[in-house]
Amino acid sequence: METGLGIGTTDCVGQIVDGDDGELVLREKQGAKLELGDLVVVDNERAKYICMVSKLTYGSLIHPDRILTSSGSMLEGVNPRLEFPDKDLRIFRQVHVKPLLEVVFENGRLVDRAPRSIPEFMSKARMASAQDFSFMEAPKMKVFIGNIRSGSRTLPVEYSMDGERLLSHHVLVSAQTGRGKSNLVKVLLWEAMRHGKFGVLVMDVHNEYYGTPASPGLKDHPDAARALVFYSRSPPPGQQLLKINLKSINPEDLMGVVQFSNAQEETLEQLRRQHGANWVSELLAINEEDDSFKKTKGTIRALKRKVCNIFNLRETQEGYECADGVFDLEKMGEETVNDMAQALEGGKIVLIDGSSISDDTGLVIASAVLRKVFDRYDYYKSSGILGEKAQVGVVLEEAPRLLSGAYGDNIFSRIAREGRKFRIGLIAITQLASVIPREILANIGTKVIMGNEMALERKAIAESAAQDLADFDRIIAGLEVGEAIVSSIFSKFPVPVKVPKFEDLAGRERKVEKERAQAQPAPAKRYF
Q: What is the DSSP string of 263-317?
A: HHHHHHHHHHHHHGGGHHHHHHH--TTSGGGSTTHHHHHHHHHHHHHHHTEEEET
Asked whether the beta carbons of 339 and 327 are under 8 A apart, the reply is: no
Same domain flag for 394 and 464: yes
What pLDDT is attached to residue 291?
Answer: 53
User: Does the pLDDT at position 520 exceed 80?
Assistant: no
93 located within any domain: yes
Q: Which domain holds residue 374?
A: 142-243+333-514
3 located within any domain: no
When pLDDT is averaged across residues 105-132 and rounded to a whole number, the result is 92
Same domain flag for 206 and 343: yes
**282-296, 394-408, 458-472: least confident range:** 282-296
2 located within any domain: no
**Of 284, 307, 328, the domain-final residue:** 328
Compute the chain's Rg from CA coordinates.
Answer: 29
Report the alpha-carbon distance of residue 1 to residue 112 in Å, rounded: 20
| Sequence-distant (≥ 6) Cβ neighbours of residue 142 within 8 angstroms | 160, 161, 162, 163, 191
Same domain flag for 61 and 164: no
When pLDDT is averaged across residues 361-368 and rounded to a whole number, the result is 92
Same domain flag for 96 and 154: no
- Residue 35 pairs in a beta bridge with none
Where does 365-482 show beta strands of DSSP type E? 391-396, 424-430, 446-450
When pLDDT is averaged across residues 48-73 and rounded to a whole number, the result is 91
Same domain flag for 480 and 382: yes
CATH number at 428 reads: 3.40.50.300
406 located within any domain: yes
524 located within any domain: no
For β-strands 483-488 and 124-127, DSSP reports them as unpaired
Number of residues written out for the chain: 528
What pLDDT is attached to residue 176?
Answer: 87
Same domain flag for 50 and 66: yes
User: Does the pLDDT at position 14 exceed 70?
Assistant: yes
**Of 104, 133, 162, the domain-final residue:** 133
Asked whether the beta carbons of 41 and 128 are under 8 A apart, the reply is: yes
Asked whether the beta carbons of 207 and 235 are under 8 A apart, the reply is: no
Q: Is 162 exposed, middle or buried (0-12, 13-18, 19+ CB in 10 A)?
A: middle
Same domain flag for 126 and 165: no
**Of 308, 328, 348, the domain-final residue:** 328
The amino acid that residue 468 corresponds to is D
Considering the entire predicted model, what is its pTM? 0.88
Same domain flag for 186 and 296: no
Number of folded domains in the chain? 3
Distances in Å between the alpha carbon of 203 and those of 174, 187, 244? 18, 16, 15
Same domain flag for 451 and 404: yes
